[in-house]
Amino acid sequence: MWTDQTSKWLKEIKHFNNHTLKLRSRKACLLVIDMQNEFLAEDGSIFFHYASEIVPNVKRLVSACRSASIPVVFTGHVHEDPAVDGGMTAEWWPQIKEGRCLIKGSRGAQIYSGLKARKGEKVIWKHRYSAFYNTDLEITLRGMGVTDLIITGVLTNVCCESTARDAFFRDFRVFFLADATATSEPEFQVATLKNLAYAFAYVTTTDHLLKQIGS
């Protein structure tokens, strides 16, 4: 199991993960990145099984944040016409360039059924890895008075990491969930967690963060 490796990962990054942060719940926001059918549904064209294993933890976080009146923001990576809005992302991924996945309005691009946004919750559709790039995410967070950003979702080393770095550059306090993010290889997970702990984010767990939300 993916999440069963969390303790091992945290031990590997312990030397770097020394900027422990206390969540300021009244100024926090949960960001659920790209939990879309394309990645999570077994018939998705870029499905990887590790993604489905973090769904229970992401659900727990979403539920706890809603109960604590902490805003939840969802993102999805989409393209209307990869030849126009794909850029280097489309050049890098043939399945995007050829219009075989993440096309806006398609079933694959939709947020996974078990994690859909509620009425009034923000959904940001993006064309690049970072949820901040050419979107209104920062304006939304500033408007809500958010200073603490909790990051969950997929892929750890691509869209989640890119968003975490951009959040840090914008002076948000970043909480990165080791057991509520997933990617295609455990090696990528460890490398990202180590990089983020070294210079960009506090790497923590679902259980630890839930205790802070409940306090």
Q: What is the CATH number of the domain that holds 120?
A: 3.40.50.850
User: For residue range 134-157, what is the model confidence (pLDDT) as tens digits?
Assistant: 999 999 999 999 999 999 999 999
Domain count, the chain: 1
Give the Cα separation of 132 and 130 in Å (integer): 5
Domain of 164, in residue numbers: 3-214
- Summarize the confidence of residues 108-135 as an average pLDDT: 95
User: For residue range 17-29, what is the model confidence (pLDDT) as tens digits?
Assistant: 999 899 999 999 9
Both structure tokens of 215 = 């306090």
Q: Which are the catalytic amino acids?
A: 34, 126, 159
Single-letter code of the amino acid located at 114: G
pTM: 0.96
- Reported as type and span, the H/E element at residue 202 is strand 202-204
